[in-house]
């Protein structure tokens, strides 16, 4: 019986994809402010670094959702593995993205680090307002028809 649980697949909508798209949309809305703030604090290099950091964060959210949605359609066991190992792979990709540009002339590592940290946490906290924490409406809250 427990074998059936791990070999079952999830059919139907993938709320994680909707949430990551919504997170990305909000990230693009605040991107000019974050880039301008990086430019004010760290000058031109800070602005470029903030833009690069935002791209890293948005790619991370979209990749996480894609891994979960794809793995869930295979089996729940695969989804569990995708969540765990996908997290480790995505951390490695973030490290690689930073490592590749660490010595570039246009990069400000403090600006990049601050952008990655603040943007990840800020978008997740902002998204809490729009996520329905209910099994009746998994994913985003239904829109109010008013």
pLDDT, tens digit (0-9, with 9 covering 90-100), for 44-93: 999 999 999 999 999 999 999 999 999 988 888 888 999 999 999 999 99
pTM score, two decimals?
Answer: 0.86
In this predicted model, which residue has the larger pLDDT, 39 or 5? 39
3 state SS of 139: strand
Q: How many CA atoms lie within 13 A of 8 on its CB side?
A: 7
- Which pLDDT band holds residue 135 (cuts at 50, 70, 90)? low
Q: What share of the chain is helix, strand, coil (3-state, %, to 5)?
A: 75, 5, 20
The pLDDT assigned to 40 comes to 97
Nearest Cα to Cα of residue 51 among 135, 59, 124, 132: 59
């Amino acid at each position: 019986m427990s074998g059936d649980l791990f070999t079952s697949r999830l059919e139907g909508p993938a709320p994680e994809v909707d949430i990551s798209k919504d997170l990305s949309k909000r990230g693009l809305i605040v991107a000019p402010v974050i880039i301008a703030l990086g430019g004010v604090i760290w000058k031109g290099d800070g602005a470029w670094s903030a833009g690069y950091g935002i791209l890293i964060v948005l790619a991370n959210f979209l990749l996480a959702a894609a891994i979960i949605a794809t793995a869930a359609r295979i089996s729940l066991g695969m989804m569990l593995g995708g969540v765990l190992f996908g997290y480790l792979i995505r951390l490695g990709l973030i490290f690689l993205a930073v490592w590749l540009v660490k010595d570039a002339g246009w990069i400000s590592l403090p600006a990049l680090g601050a952008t990655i940290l603040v943007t990840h946490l800020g978008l997740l906290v902002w998204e809490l307002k729009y996520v329905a924490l209910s099994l009746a409406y998994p994913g985003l809250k239904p829109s109010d028809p008013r």
